[in-house]
Amino acid sequence: MCGLLAYLSTDADRVGVDHVDGVQSALHCLHHRGPDDTAVWSDDRAVLGFNRLSIIDLEGSPQPLPYAGDRYRILFNGEIYNYLELREALAAAGAELSTHGDTETIVAGYHLWGQDVVRRLRGMFSFVIWDTATRTAFGARDPFGIKPLFTARLADGGLVFSSEKKAVLEMLGGSAAAGGVDPASLQHYLTLQYVPEPATLHRGIRRIESGTSFTVVDGELHTARYFHPTFRPQPVAAGREQELYDRIAAALDESVAKHMRADVTVGSFLSSGIDSTAIAALAHRYNPDLMTFTVGFERESTSEVDIAAESAAALGVAHVPVVITAEQFAEAIPEVVWYLDDPVADPALVPLYFVAREARKHVKVVLSGEGADELFGGYTIYREPLSLAWAERVPPFGKRAMAALSERLPEGMRGKDLLRRASIPLEERYYGNARNFSGAELARLMRGHDTDLSHVTVTEALYRQTREAGYDDVTAMQYVDLFTWLRGDILVKADKMTMANSLELRVPFLDPEVFALASTIPLDQRVPVGGSGDRQNATKYALRRAMEQIVPPSILHRRKLGFPVPTADFLAGPLHEWARDIVAGSQTDEWLDRDHVLGLLDRLRTAEVPSKRIARQVWEVLVFMVWHGIFVEERIKPAIPETVYPVRL
């Protein structure tokens, strides 16, 4: 887990001292990703910079790593969990290996197998390989987008690649040089609470998409998708269900075993739900001294600390709780947003930042449960197509009547949203877990709001693919989430908040072998229809059954909480003036109606019960305003602590 930064010139240009100095200087933006070692290498066409967080082969595998007599140099951020098996295959094929790490397996595999090496990797990764003989580059990003990779073209025509956008901004020369704020990306952010790939909030900076490889030839970037997730549900014969559950348990156990490979201490995050509890229980098999970490707030109704402590006791693992206050939450926001690069309006990323900070005092790697919901059908919203099945029998005129009635009902009235959602097709109503602003609400907030731009712009091609594949509505929602919510919100906050603390986070659910099995689970084993007992209103049913011998019974069927944040209570109470100060000081009038935002804040303060929906809307705006203050106005300057951690933790 590290931070990479590469500059590749065009055929007409040659690398000069300014390019080397530029990479060397911009590397400081990535220091938190790799405080153990920093190195820069260059030739007349490329400059490769690297900050390393040593996890495997601590004394060896320095990067940019040479291979084949210095023909290749590789920059690699991530971990390859099947590197031991790959090393055996490479050695058997005659490859020469001089390190004991996983980085060399990628470049040696590329030398031996070519671009198909990416299909053999089980892990999380973004990498760039520079071939000094052909003066070309090859790189890739992992199948699900666990590890980030940003790219931009500089004024001199050269290309830059980096693990974080802020280093690209420095190479470009600031926000204005990066094209300024992209209005379409901002509108998507306000709709989705994140900027969807491959865009960023700056016009001139893009992301290499998940599951994509690329080449650079004569300064031209060419991309190709090497991984496309495919669901292929297979029916389970009556009486053979336990075989499926056993296969799921075995696949997850094998994935966790490989994710435990490290030359440093590995711990685990632990929340109140089945996902992280399952991971911690399995990890405990391979590390009897496993430490787990949980975060909560000073509010009993939303804190997970007590529940996680009970789970830790049942599992027999050490447990470290973190409890934060509203004031700590607010003080951390500028720092958190700086680490994010682009705004993500998920309040859960703040407690994640705090629990990662505490975990880094004890371990260097943690396991976590991200991806289980998207693979196994865990979100409650996935039950919606089943609950709205009756609407499929309503004729078009009836749906028009439901839509009209929904429009006439007052905001917040029971049944209003149900009628609206029942009257429109899945493609229009579902675009992920965040639905903070309606089109009309967004038009009131955002100056220059484009009525022709909506979430459909982001999901239209994805839904077309689901129709071509013949997916049912639930599977279609899972598929859409893999390309939107998972890689836009869940994995961004996981990467950025842990790496902010020089902590490596690993996600055993998002393993190609686990996905290969999860993709075959039939619908009634993900979100069963009807039934009683543990089947009634269940999600992730097959996963829960698979974990019956592993996870404490009290956790198996508990409602998912995530990292619950009392945002509405905060903004209506202790953080109200803090929020008003952010709005008052923001220079975002070009984009947003400040008075409208203040009006939303007033509604929160005066309401008998603060609206969670309005709180989410305000929070989304506040995060953007802080981001704008840091990266555009350069008025807000977060106090980023110097990263000083021992290598051998």
Please state whether the peptide bond connecting residue 288 to the residue before it is cis, i.e. omega within 30 degrees of 0.
no
Query: Which is it for the CA torsion 628, 631, 637, 642, positive or negative?
Result: positive
Q: Kindly name the residue from 2, 8, 107, 391 that is annotated as catalytic.
A: 2
The answer to whether 429 and 419 have CB atoms below 8 angstroms apart is no
Q: Confirm whether residue 218 is marked as ligand binding.
A: no
Three-state secondary-structure class, residue 576? helix
Instruction: Tell me the three state secondary structure of residue 318.
Output: strand
Token pair 């060419």: residue? 222
- Asked whether residue 337 is marked as a ligand-binding residue, the answer is no
State the maximum Cα–Cα separation within the chain, in Å, rounded to a whole number: 73
How far, in Å, are 12, 153, 373, 475, 506 from residue 540 at the CA level?
A: 55, 43, 7, 13, 21
CA pair distance 376, 539, nearest whole angstrom: 8
Please indicate if the annotation marks 295 as binding a ligand: yes
Q: For the chain, give percent helix, strand, coil, nearest 5.
A: 45, 15, 40
8 A C-beta contact, residue 511 and residue 122: yes
Identity of the amino acid at 209: E
The letter for the amino acid at 3 is: G
410 Cβ contact partners less than 8 Å away, ≥ 6 residues apart: 416
Length, in residues, of the chain: 649
Question: Among this protein's residues, is 2 annotated catalytic?
Answer: yes
Q: DSSP characters for 619-643?
A: HHHHHHHHHHHHHTS------PPP-
Determine the angle formed by the axes of helices 612-631 and 576-585, rounding to 10 degrees. Answer: 40
Q: Could you give phi then psi for residue 139, rounded to 5 degrees?
A: -155, 175
Phi and psi at residue 319, to the nearest 5°: -140, 135
Would you tell me how many other CB atoms lie within 10 Å of the CB of residue 584?
9
181 DSSP assignment: B
Sign of the Cα pseudo-torsion (472, 474, 476, 479, in order): negative
Report yes or no: 339 and 495 within 8 Å, Cβ to Cβ.
no
Cα distance from N-terminal residue to C-terminal residue, the chain: 14
Is there a binding annotation on residue 57?
no
Q: 415, exposed or middle or buried, with CB in 10 Å at 0-12, 13-18, 19+? A: exposed
Structure tokens at 598: 């203040």
- 150 forms bridges with which residues in the sheet? 162, 207
Q: Whole-angstrom Cα distance, residue 348 to residue 564? A: 7
CA-atom Rg of the chain in angstroms? 24
Bridge-partner residues for 220, per DSSP? 217
Please report, in range form, the residues annotated as the binding site for ATP: 295, 368-369
Task: Write out the catalytic residue numbers.
Answer: 2
**Feature table: binding site for L-glutamine:** 102
